[in-house]
Amino acid sequence: MGNKIAGIIMLTGTLFLGSCAQQVANTEGKHARVEETMSTLDNVSEINFKNKKNVLLDVRTPEEFAEGHVAGATNIDVKNPNFTEEISKLDTKKNYYIYCKSGVRAKLATEKMQEKGFKNAKNFKDGMSTYKGTVTK
């Protein structure tokens, strides 16, 4: 009887651990696909924006953009109701590097773009709030 109980405990434990491992793998896969994050916006200079395949996208409001932005950035406000329409005009094959003030709206924009078929949309985990580089007005 002791062997039966030990066997049941081992089987239950194996099934439990196996199901946890499956969930972790699935969760990690989802986050890896959706959360395409880069290091801080301070690393923006490491990307060659002279290459037309690379696009810097500022998803803050037009007012925030006018106060100061990274040189060469294109502004499309993610909170604007026509954001989906605006991104549909973009080339889905290009590489998009997205930022906002703190990273929250950039993450939202990245997710929306990926849902619309953008395979190379990445956001900076931080935004203008920590940026120490040159700002253009």
Distance CA 111, CA 134 (A): 27
| HSE-up (13 A, CA, CB side) for residue 135 | 14
Distance CA 18, CA 14 (A): 6
Question: Which residue in 76, 100, 109, 121 is the catalytic one?
Answer: 100
Distance CA 66, CA 95 (A): 24
Quick check: is 100 catalytic? yes
Catalytic residues: 100
